């Protein structure tokens, strides 16, 4: 089975529990924090494309700010749940490496926790550049590379062998990026005003008491010791001709 097919099957199977992961307890706090980073970079009230939209949590939040949007995901089951969550948005099954939209369509493009799955990140960002209107902005958040994430591929492989039923627990050949790699990818795709930052020292998989401790010191870590943060966020703007 190809890796994209594995990702699709996994998230089809996980769709029923995905919402609980990110709308309850520490998962809700974690998802809210990374969403804050992404949405703060995007223009409000515009037309949004969310790539790897899952069950529509980020699109729903963007709509609450007065915008409208389209969510795209490789998993049909995720899209079904997204339609139930936000029926006023538009939803489609697809991949970020081949976007089924015309040039210069969107004011904003977002992606949360999906970028590491793309085997052709340059192609994905080229597609994002194509569908953005001049002056439009892309912002994404995904797992970054550091010593805390270095062991995740092995853990995910063991989880797959043990048939652990948990979102993201599987060997999908993910790539975790450094700050320099992200900046290079964005500038190589012709984006300007590129910014890269680390966020979320507190990861939802931490035990609850450890998570709450990590949340209290998270602002200090993100400002002074950003390499310790799990996620990496990046943004860029499509220039006017």
Alpha helical stretches, state H, the chain: 3-23, 25-39, 57-64, 76-85, 121-131, 152-161, 179-188, 208-224
pLDDT band for 150, please (50, 70, 90 cuts): low
Q: How far apart are CA 128 and CA 65, in angstroms?
A: 22
Q: What is the tally of structural domains in the chain? A: 1
pLDDT of residue 2: 56
Contact 40, 69 (CB under 8 A): no
Q: Which comes out higher in pLDDT, residue 148 or 10?
A: 10
User: Token digits for 131?
Assistant: 């569908």
Domain that holds residue 87: 3-237
The rounded percent of the chain whose pLDDT value lies above 70 is 88
pTM above 0.85, yes or no: yes
pLDDT of residue 149: 64
pLDDT of residue 152: 53
Q: Which comes out higher in pLDDT, residue 185 or 25?
A: 185
Highest mean pLDDT among 5-14, 18-27, 54-63, 155-164: 54-63
Q: Which comes out higher in pLDDT, residue 20 or 134?
A: 134
**Residue 39: helix, strand or coil by DSSP?**
helix
Question: Is 90 exceeded by the pLDDT of residue 148?
Answer: no
Question: Is 70 exceeded by the pLDDT of residue 156?
Answer: no
- CA 36 vs. chain centroid, Å, equals 12
- In sign, the C-alpha dihedral spanning 163, 169, 174, 178 is negative
Beta bridge pairs of residue 177? 144
In this structure, the strands spanning 231-237 and 106-112 are unpaired
At 14, which CATH number? 3.40.50.150
- In sign, the C-alpha dihedral spanning 156, 157, 159, 164 is positive
Looking at residues 216-240, what average pLDDT do you find?
93
User: Token digits for 236?
Assistant: 């860029």
pLDDT band for 151, please (50, 70, 90 cuts): low
Question: Is 60 exceeded by the pLDDT of residue 127?
Answer: yes
CA-to-CA separations, 107 to 1, 34, 135, 173, 238, in angstroms, rounded: 36, 20, 8, 31, 10
């Amino acid at each position: 089975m190809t890796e994209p097919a594995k990702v699709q099957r996994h998230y089809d199977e996980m769709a029923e529990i995905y919402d609980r992961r990110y709308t309850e307890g520490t998962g809700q706090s974690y998802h809210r924090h990374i969403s804050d980073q992404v949405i703060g970079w995007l223009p409000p009230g515009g037309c949004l494309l969310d790539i790897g939209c899952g069950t529509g949590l980020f699109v729903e939040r963007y709509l609450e700010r007065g915008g409208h949007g389209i969510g795209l995901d490789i998993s049909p089951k995720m899209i079904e749940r997204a339609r139930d969550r936000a029926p006023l948005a538009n939803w489609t099954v697809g991949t970020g490496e081949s976007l089924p939209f015309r040039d210069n369509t969107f004011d904003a493009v977002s992606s949360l926790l999906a970028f590491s799955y793309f085997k052709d990140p340059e192609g994905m960002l080229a597609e994002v550049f194509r569908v953005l209107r001049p002056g439009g902005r892309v912002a994404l958040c995904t797992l970054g590379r550091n010593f805390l994430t270095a062991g995740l591929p092995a853990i995910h492989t063991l989880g797959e062998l043990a048939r652990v039923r948990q979102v993201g627990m599987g060997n999908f050949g993910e790539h975790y990026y450094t700050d320099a790699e992200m900046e290079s990818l964005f500038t190589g795709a012709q984006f300007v005003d590129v910014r890269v930052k680390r966020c979320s020292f507190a990861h939802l998989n931490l035990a609850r008491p450890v998570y709450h401790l990590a949340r209290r010191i998270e602002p200090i870590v993100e400002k002074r010791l950003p390499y310790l943060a799990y996620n990496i966020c990046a943004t860029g703007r499509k220039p006017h001709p």
